[in-house]
Structure 1
Amino acid sequence: MTDTSVFPDPVYRDTVLAPLFEGVKTHFADHMDAINRAHLVMLVETAILGREDGQAIAHALDAIAAETDPAALSYTGEHEDWFFLVEAELKKRIGDLGGALHTARSRNDMDHTQFKMALRIRAEEALARLLRLAGALLDKARAERDTLIVAYTHGQPAQPSTFGHYLAAMIEVLLSDARRFDAAIAPLDLCPMGAAAITTSGFPIDRARMADLLGFTSAKVNAYGCIASVDYVTGLYSALKLPMIHLGRVVQDMAFWSAFEVGQLHVPRSLVQISSIMPQKRNPVPIEHMRHIASVAAGRCDVIVNTMHNTPFTDMNDSEGEVQQAGYGAFEHAARVLDLLTAFLPACSINAERVAHTTDAACITITELADTLVRAEGLSFRQAHEIAAATARAVIAAGSPLKQGYAPFATAFAEVTGRPPALTQAAFTDAVDARSFVTRRDRIGGPAPAALDAAFADYDATLDALSAAQSARLARRAAAALRLDAAFQDLKGRP
């Protein structure tokens, strides 16, 4: 049978090739140009290509860059993709020599190299936002170290703590997420160039030089893995998903705390919208936006990871241009959440009056009364718990604050122990005071000032280490870009 069809089929052109071409224009053209320049330098340095030929190709690459406006180009089908467009432009300028640039490489290793180059930019921006949020929360936690709050468990008032203590818990998770994200960036720094299609090349290529010129720490060792292993994708998006999940839980607390019935968190007017019909309403809708944008970001991460599920361990389009571009939306949504939360939480404050009211109404210091009875009266904790429970029931029934409950306490104590308490009324009042409750919890991880200050110092050290590691990576890549430009300009200038 004679096949008279002509590539590309119009439907394939419009549904696949044209969108991919647009994606390269937007996301990858600059990275491909850098790869072309680095590969040319390496070919000449290893004598795979003569210097005179290399110089001619270098000048042609410069001319193409100067004379091509990617934004003005539309996909016509004349060339299969951006790679073949550039190669055709090279041949137009210098003849068959233009095809020499592709010696000892493939679109396979080029693709995964440019995907990593595009991802590492987005990854570093995301990490910078995570660290900026952590820094803002650390500042806020220090400022609110002694600010009392009601800590909730199972949606019910539980014990006194401080806003600084709550934020410290949030910071610990955020820093753990940042460490995981930092670790997920590491595979992006292993260069696939030189893997060619799948098995490297018979030419004496210098893979280390390619990695160095493109700002990678080293070559990714196994050539098969360079084009088949997509762990740099799945690992990165998994690491991006986690802070969206974890911060979403905190955002949900903010919704609960700011509800009228709770009223523990005050959201300033600048972050509150009004109702179009109910004039009394204060709607802290940024909370809802953070919650749903974080969920969208997490969902987009799942899309990318799940796309890799049950795919073959080989070169495949399932991990390439279209999927790579689809993932960038996750970074865009994550950036919005992180930026908004960095502005939102430091602007909020705790309503001390509502905290005090809930503290009294819910008897949330009663645990310390039981602990005090164990220490001061020599009771077992179960005896102390029984007395404390009876005291709480009595004051709640009477609608009185716990600090006024010495009489029902003394009655309960006598009923359980058969003797009057040695604990004085003053000692009782101190035991059930919220500030005393916090101050007594001066253990590692507790809300007391000294314990929190020690934790803050640890968070500072972690934040500094992550920031320093990122700065070193960015500096290394910037220096590599300068080395590449110098080597390329030297090649252009010497015959």
Structure 2
Amino acid sequence: MTDRPTSTDTTTFPDPVYARTVLAPLYGHAKTVFAEPLMRINRAHCVMLAETGILAGDEARQIASALAAIEASDILAPSPYTGAHEDLFFEVEGALKARVGNELGGKLHTGRSRNDLDHAIFRLRLKAVIDAMLDVARTTAWTMLDAARANKGEIIVAYTHGQPAQPTTYGHYLAGALETLLADIGRLDAARALVDRSPMGAAAITTTGFPVDRARMAGLLGFAEPTLNSYASIAGVDYVTAPYSALALMMLHLGRVVQDLQFWTSFEVGQLYVANSLVQISSIMPQKRNPVPIEHMRHLASTALGQAETVVRTMHNTPFTDMNDSEAEVQVTGLAAFATAGRVLDLLAAVLGGARVEPENVRRNIDRSCITITELADTLVRDEGLSFREGHEIASAVATAVVAGKGVLSDAYPAFAAAFERLAGRPSRLDEDAFRAAVGPEHFVAVRERHGGPGPAAMAAALETYRARLGALEEAAVHHAEREAVAAAALSEAFGALSGAGG
């Protein structure tokens, strides 16, 4: 029997391929996206360790002073990845040890893990972009509300299945879009509540034997509260999936409105005019008015939807544990979704703020499409004492005549009079003026005063409801901001007292 030669692994970390494909990008992300929350957590953790007696007062002061000096250095500035440290966390820890010694420098990490630390970093960063997105979304919602109020009497053609259906008002349409946007904002705000919980103190999985104060850490970092279960603190990804799902729905819903705007601004329909400042010309066709910002909204909404769904789907079939699938790389991918969605909202507010209805085109389309005929049937029931089926048959005969070449607003009365006498067995009591009023779009809208309808009183009530809902969302945002400002001030004061840097 011969001895098998012993294999010796002479490689050193990091492998160049691993460094280039994984570590270098992550290092870049940490410098540009996650450095501030990392240092904020370091400051808060140092304060908490001192307050609980886990660190002696002099130890905490030395560490705090060193952290302040490190933050003032260029260590957080963008720089190439050299492999000298695995990542930014270890680079900062190395800088701390260089200033206070290995033993004391290593004490900052007492009672925590990279697991709870990383998820706290991601939550802080995600909460900030959610707040920015909610601010943009509310601004767009206010623009939509103002446009709905200004256009509550502007008649337009409403479409179903791609065909003219009934007249309504542009304000009524915008109010419907606003109702959905407010629900989307509410969903994103509700998802924010899941993000607004601190995992610090969960450590790797099971918390720690050190008497850390999880509530104090949550308060110093501006979280509403600590997470409860320590396993879920590092394994749960609902704080990721919920906001990105909400963002995807917002883009899906707004994309449908954008599609309508594209259709309504076409030459053949032409019921909505887009301001010249948002219209591009053709390089060869001098007559063209191209409202291409609408096209950009459409593809940007689809892009943001895809980016958000990428994050959600990355979580699919992953284990319920701490894992890289939910961490820095995918978090950065997700941030792009918020940036793209913000562009959609900004552009939509600009378009809606300058758009106007084209009344002549609307009236032409109503005249030819006969979309007021439903109210004629209703009028015959109310004023002529007919059954709805009888009224419907007469109105149907009028619609047939209109489709054959007569306009319902212009020359349909003779066809109506003949159809009424033929089907009802007597002349109608409606003269031509009464008929024109019955089939007029203004009358159609005015009598639809049911809850949620386009009638003036119904619209006034709805718009006030939307204003109140939007106001409540604004108040919630102010509450979030005030609480986080108090937390930031408390951390600054407590850390400043330790470091001697005055915050």
* TM-score, with structure 1 as normaliser: 0.98
Asked if 2 retains the 8 angstrom alpha-carbon contact of 1:28 and 1:114, the reply is yes
Whether the 8 Å contact between 2:68 and 2:499 is mirrored in structure 1 is: no
How far, CA to CA, are the matches of 1:443 and 1:154 in structure 2?
24
Match of 2:217 in 1: 210
Selected match of 2:442 from 411, 432, 435? 435
Deviation, structure 1 residue 480 = 0.4
Q: Aligned pair 1:37/2:48, yes or no?
A: no
Pick aligned residue for 1:52 from 37, 51, 58: 58
- For 1:275-354, list aligned pairs within 5 A: 275-354=282-361
Q: In 1, Cα distance between the equivalents of 2:90 and 2:366?
A: 71
Give the distance between the partners of 1:476 and 1:398, measured in 2 at CA.
66
* 2:121 paired with 1:135: no
Q: Match for 1:135: what amino acid?
A: W
Number of the residue aligned with 1:18 = 24
User: What is the CA-CA distance between 1:401 and the residue it aligns to?
Assistant: 3.6
Query: Which residue, out of 83, 86, 92, partners 1:80?
Result: 86
> Which deviates more, 390-399 or 96-105?
390-399
Cα pair distance change 1:226/1:163, threshold 3 Å: same
Q: Tell me if the contact between 2:134 and 2:188 (Cα under 8 Å) persists in the aligned partners.
A: yes
Separation in 2, partners of 1:73, 1:146 = 58
**1:404 pairs with 2:400:** no
Q: 1:93 aligns with which of 70, 89, 99?
A: 99
Q: Which amino acid aligns with 1:120?
A: K
Report if the CA contact (8 A) 1:300-1:330 is conserved: yes
C-alpha distance in 2 between matches for 1:190 and 1:437? 52
8 Å contact kept, 1:145–1:165: yes
Task: Check whether the contact 1:272–1:286 (CA below 8 A) recurs between aligned residues.
Answer: yes
Q: Which residue does 2:400 correspond to in 1?
A: 393
What does residue 107 of structure 1 align with?
114
Shift of 1:403: 4.8
1:219 to 226, 231, 249: 226
Quote the residue 2:165 is aligned against: 158
List structure 1 segments (4+ residues) > 4 angstroms apart after TM superposition: none
Output the TM-score relative to the length of structure 2. Answer: 0.96
- Cα deviation per residue 1:444-475 (whole Å; 9 max; x = unaligned)? 11111111010010001100000100111011
**In structure 1, what residue type is equivalent to 2:185?**
A
The Cα offsets for residues 214-241 of structure 1, whole Å up to 9 and x where unpaired, read as 0001100010001000001000100001
- Taking structure 1 as reference, are residues 184 and 99 closer, same or farther at Cα in structure 2, changes over 3 Å only? same
Amino acid at match of 2:85: H
1:2 maps to which residue? 8
User: Shift of the alpha carbon at 1:88?
Assistant: 0.8
Give the direction of change, closer, same or farther, for the CA distance of 1:209–1:9 in structure 2 (3 Å limit).
Answer: same
Deviation at 1:2, TM superposition (A): 2.4
2:205 corresponds to which of 182, 198, 209: 198
Partner of 1:254: 261
Residue 69 of structure 1 and its aligned partner are, at CA, apart by 4.2
Alignment deviations for residues 20-67 of structure 1 (CA, whole Å, 9 cap, x no partner): 010000011111101001001101110111000000001110111112
1:228 is matched with 235
Q: Any unmatched runs of 5+ in structure 2? A: 1-6
Aligned residues: 494
Contact 1:392 1:402 in 2 (8 A): no
State whether structure 2 residue 156 is matched by structure 1 residue 149: yes
Mark the CA change 1:281 to 1:202 in structure 2 (over 3 Å): closer, same or farther: same
Paired AA for residue 94 in structure 1: V
Q: Distance in 2 between matches of 1:344 and 1:389?
A: 38
SS at match of 1:460: helix
* 1:493 Cα deviation after fit: 4.1
Q: How does 1:392-471 map to 2 (within 5 A)?
A: 392-471=399-478
Distance 1:128 1:26 in 2: 23
- SS in structure 2 of the partner of residue 412 of structure 1: helix
1:352, distance to aligned residue in structure 2 (A): 0.6
The question of whether the paired residues in 1 share the 8 Å contact of 2:406 and 2:412 is answered with no
Q: 1:378: which partner in 2?
A: 385
Quickly say closer, same or farther: Cα 1:132–1:269, change in 2 above 3 A: same
The residue identity in structure 1 corresponding to 2:210 is F
Is the contact made by 1:181 and 1:240 (CA closer than 8 Å) also made in structure 2? yes
Shift of 1:358: 0.9
Contact 1:199 1:223 in 2 (8 A): yes
Moved more, 100-109 or 470-479: 470-479
**TM-superposed deviation, 1:71:** 2.6
1:489 aligns with 2:470: no
Q: Does 1:273 pair with 2:284? A: no
Tell me if the contact between 2:200 and 2:226 (Cα under 8 Å) persists in the aligned partners.
yes
Residue 405 (structure 1) shift: 2.0
Does structure 2 conserve the Cα–Cα contact (< 8 Å) formed by 1:403 and 1:432? Answer: no
Between the aligned partners of 2:78 and 2:275, the Cα distance in structure 1 is: 46
Residues in 2 aligned to 1:343 and 1:384: alpha-carbon distance in whole angstroms:
45
Q: What whole-Å deviation, never above 9, does each CA across 1:329-378 have from its counterpart, x for those lacking one? A: 10110011000111111101111110111111111111100001111222
2:78 and 2:262 mapped to 1: Cα distance?
47
- Tell me the SS of whatever aligns to 2:168: strand
Amino acid at match of 1:410: A
**1:71 counterpart SS class:** coil
Q: Find the residue that maps to 1:215 and give its secondary structure.
A: coil
